[in-house]
Amino acid sequence: MAMTSERKSRLLGAGEIDVSFEFFPPKTEKMEATLWAAIERLAAQMGFLLEAAAEGILRVANATMARAIRVVSVERGYDPRDFALVCFGGAGGLHAANLAQGLGIPRVIVPQFPGALSALGLLLADAQKDYSRTLLIDAEDSNKRVRQVLDELHRIGTKELRAEGFKKNEIESMDFVDLRYRGQSYELTIPMTSNFIERFHKTHDRRYGHSSPGRPVELVNVRTTFLGRTAKPDFRKAPKARGRPEPIDTQSAWINGKRIKTRVYDRAALGRGHVINGPAIIGEYSSTTLVPPDFRCEVDAYLNLVLEDDS
């Protein structure tokens, strides 16, 4: 397919942007042609504008991601409005603001080098070992038996982490129990504390909307997680930036069903305290962040982008 100058732009978030900026990795003409050909075919079949079809694709993707967030929040008894959404990956910043707005999440945090965040996490992660033992006993008066099992699992965990070179003061453990009401076929994992049965009732009520404090509780499994703590770097605060952030360009982007003049910023030029009002696109080598209309983006002390709905 012949590539017009307009089609030499790259689909970003809910619009298009020139790829001549150096923070975008190069793409081959064949890849561009394949992308646009697929969207054009879909748009023609549906009778949509090319941009509207592309936006529809993004909305379907956002709906799928929103369902995944609900699984780990609402369906577990947590209100998304009590949390911030941390996004990462090359495309995470393109979806995050719209996801947060749809779920009522008040704040989005885009860390430095989001495209490499998973790799950074791999390098900094503690060593972790999980151990468990099935008991299937009444939870009441089970402390002695649970303690015996935990002591045994702790000896194994400590021995294995010491064998990997961790010192005694670098090893930590966390204990849990899997509990359920008698007759149930599923369990809830509860931290092992002196009031673990009471915490089970409260967790059951939060997760499922009801609890039965007078009903017998079964202890199914005893679990312990051992961590070998690794050295962590010292993340220092950045100095306060001077002046206002300057866009490197202004482009027309398709956002929320219409074309809008959108400022484009190079993230590497942004500093602590800089504020950007949407609509804007913030580009970098490993990722791109969309700041929709009515959103405000501020660079914090650790150079994270913090987006909030300013409407």
Q: Of 267, 293, 269, 271, give the one whose Cα is nearest residue 280.
A: 293
User: Model pTM?
Assistant: 0.79
The strand order across the sheet containing 217-228 reads: 127-138, 217-228, 171-181, 188-191
What is the per-residue pLDDT across 62-113, written as a single tens digit (0 to 9) for each?
A: 999 999 999 999 988 899 999 999 999 988 999 999 999 999 999 999 999 9
Task: Give the domain 126-228 fold.
Answer: Dna Ligase; domain 1 (3.30.1490)
Tell me what pLDDT residue 171 has.
97
Between strands 84-86 and 305-309, the pairing is unpaired
Tell me what pLDDT residue 6 has.
37
Dihedral in degrees, nearest 10, Cα atoms 32, 33, 34, 36: 80
Tell me what pLDDT residue 54 has.
87
Tell me what pLDDT residue 12 has.
44
CA 196 vs. chain centroid, Å, equals 29
Which residue in this structure is represented by tokens 């899997």?
A: 178
Find all residues with CB under 8 Å of 231, minimum gap 6, and list them: none
Give Cα separations from 114 to 14, 121, 125, 174 (angstroms). 19, 11, 17, 30
Ordered alpha helix ranges (H), 15-89: 29-46, 50-71
Positions in the chain short of pLDDT 50: 1-20
Domain boundaries, the chain: 126-228
Structure token digits, residue 290: 């969309």
> How many helices (H) does the chain have, and how many strands (E)?
6, 15
